[in-house]
Amino acid sequence: MRNSRTAVHAFHEWPLVVFTTLAIMGGGLLAAPLLAWAVAGTPAPAAAVIPWGVLLLGAGLLVSLVHLGQPLRAPLASVGFGRSRLSAEIVLAAVALAAGIVTAALPYQSPALDLVTAISAAAFLISLGFVYGLRGQRTWRGAVVWTPLSAGLGFGAVALAGVWGSALTAVGAVAAATLAADTTLCIVRRAAIAYAGADAMPRHPAFFARRDLLLGIRLLLVDILPGLCLFGGLPKGAAGVLGLGILVDRLAFYGLASQHTTETEVARVESLLAD
């Protein structure tokens, strides 16, 4: 019998990679009022990044329709809200987007609406991580479910630092703390992937064989280089590098999918017998 661990699958997840990349960046920008409030006691300084958050999240949701067989039926996915994690993700994304649109369109500042937008965006980032906690998918569970939140908030923080020059040090400290938390999650994730690979079948073996390189690039682009840019007083550069890092993060997420199946058990027994 052919070893199932050598099976190769074409990478069809590009729409999901692009969608989640844009959605994490957009959600992070829409959550920026929370960060501004934490630093200054008011969400007002985040007003400049809200329209960009709306644009990115909206673009991400449009890209997500490409992955659907019948895009016009997408609204029906919200029917399962309260029972389905996917429905929760869709509803929270819609709420965050709608609140962001209203916030950006108002001719005056509304701190309450800013915070509603930020809280719904943060909730969406959390739901985006948990929606993939599928039974048997070893590498889509554990610390990795929190990385959309940590990377998104990190992106929102460095973007906020770029437009709020008078508070660069304070916002930079918040961004550094967020990136430090993301670094911890990345390390824990690497350990979980090593454990999962012992008795699971990688969906994309070529990606899985290069997991250390892929996760290393992800760590460099999401955490290390943005941190150095912030330290050097280059928050806009940090945001650009981190955006690219989020793209690599999502590529790694789908590329390192590893499924525990009956076939992997058969392959493991065959390997033991061969020894």
pLDDT in tens, 45-104: 899 999 999 999 999 999 887 765 555 455 555 555 555 777 888 889 999 999 999 999
* pLDDT of amino acid 113: 95
**For tokens 């824990």, what's the residue?**
188
SS3 letters across 96-151: HHHHHHHHHHCCCCCHHHHHHHHHHHHHHHHHHHHCCCCCCEHHHCHHHHHHHHHH
Which CATH architecture fits 10-274? Answer: Up-down Bundle (1.20)
List the beta bridge partners of residue 201: 259
Report CA-CA distances (Å) from 144 to 53, 107, 125, 200, 244. 23, 39, 12, 17, 18
Higher pLDDT, 64 or 215: 215
Mean pLDDT of 249-264: 82
* pLDDT of amino acid 88: 85
Q: Picking from 26-30, 63-67, 122-126, 235-239, which range would have the lowest pLDDT averaged per residue?
A: 63-67
* All structural domains of the chain with their residue ranges: 10-274
Nearest to 253 by CA among 200, 197, 208: 208
Mean pLDDT of 100-112: 92
User: What distance in Å separates the CA atoms of residue 130 and residue 148, rounded to the nearest whole number?
Assistant: 10
pTM of the model: 0.88
- pLDDT over 90 percentage in the chain: 53
pLDDT digits (tens, 9 = 90+) for 166-191: 677 788 888 889 999 999 999 999 98
Whole-number average pLDDT of the chain: 85
